[in-house]
């Protein structure tokens, strides 16, 4: 069930049972992107104040759906954009990290950072494995974490916090 504060955009999320494997309820953001992309970007932007945005230099998108949101917000706020990629997709990798998923293992790779303050974005946080890995990776390559944001937070699966940074999200599901 989505919280009341997010019901306007939550109604455009499709629920796909047993995808990508049995027992998983996949929250498909395709209809949201297709029909309400601007509203979604504006809602993500509003998670941070003007003062917060002044303290963010760069936005990181976690492959692949995180790219959509981080790139759009970087453009909107005139910030830099960096990619957090899966294996074999990024040249000049400076560091990588392996992490567990609800349905397997994966790893993420990044190029060398520049000490800037970074906001990490993804489409969804479930257990927090990829987000925690990305936080550690960002620090390892040389960024300072300024914030964490997702479109969807499956709050019943996590209470994510990384070094004092909680996840800000526009849609929360408690079951």
| Residue in 15, 65, 98, 117 annotated catalytic | 65
| Residue in 102, 117, 139, 140 annotated catalytic | 102
CATH class of 4-173: alpha beta
Which pairing describes strands 165-173 and 144-154: parallel, antiparallel, or unpaired?
A: parallel
Residues 6+ apart with CB under 8 A from 142: 112, 113, 114, 115
Residues 6+ apart with CB under 8 A from 47: 149, 168, 169, 170
State yes or no: is 168 an active-site residue: no
Mean pLDDT rounded to a whole number for the chain: 93
Residues 6+ apart with CB under 8 A from 173: 1, 2, 3, 27, 152, 153, 154, 155, 156
pLDDT tens-digit profile, the chain (175 residues): 454 345 699 999 999 999 988 988 899 999 999 999 999 999 999 999 999 999 999 999 999 999 999 999 999 999 999 999 999 999 999 999 999 876 678 999 999 999 999 999 999 999 899 999 999 999 999 999 999 999 999 999 999 999 999 999 999 999 8
pLDDT, tens digit, for every residue of 35-66?
A: 999 999 999 999 999 999 999 999 999 999 99
């Amino acid at each position: 069930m989505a919280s009341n504060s997010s019901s306007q955009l939550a109604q455009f999320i499709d629920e796909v049972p047993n995808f990508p494997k049995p027992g998983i309820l996949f929250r498909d953001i395709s209809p949201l992107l297709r029909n309400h992309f601007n509203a979604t970007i504006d809602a993500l932007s509003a998670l941070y104040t003007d003062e917060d945005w002044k303290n963010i230099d760069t936005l990181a998108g976690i492959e692949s759906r995180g790219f959509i949101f981080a790139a759009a917000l970087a453009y909107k706020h005139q910030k830099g954009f960096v990619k957090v990629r899966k294996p074999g997709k990024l040249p000049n990798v400076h560091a990588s990290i392996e992490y567990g998923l609800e349905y397997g293992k994966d790893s993420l790779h990044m190029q060398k950072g520049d000490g800037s303050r970074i906001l990490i974005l993804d489409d969804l946080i479930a257990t927090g494995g990829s987000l925690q890995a990305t936080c550690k990776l960002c620090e390892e390559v040389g960024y300072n974490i300024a914030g964490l944001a997702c479109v969807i937070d499956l709050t019943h699966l996590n209470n994510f916090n990384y070094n004092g940074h909680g996840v800000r999200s526009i849609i929360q599901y408690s079951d």
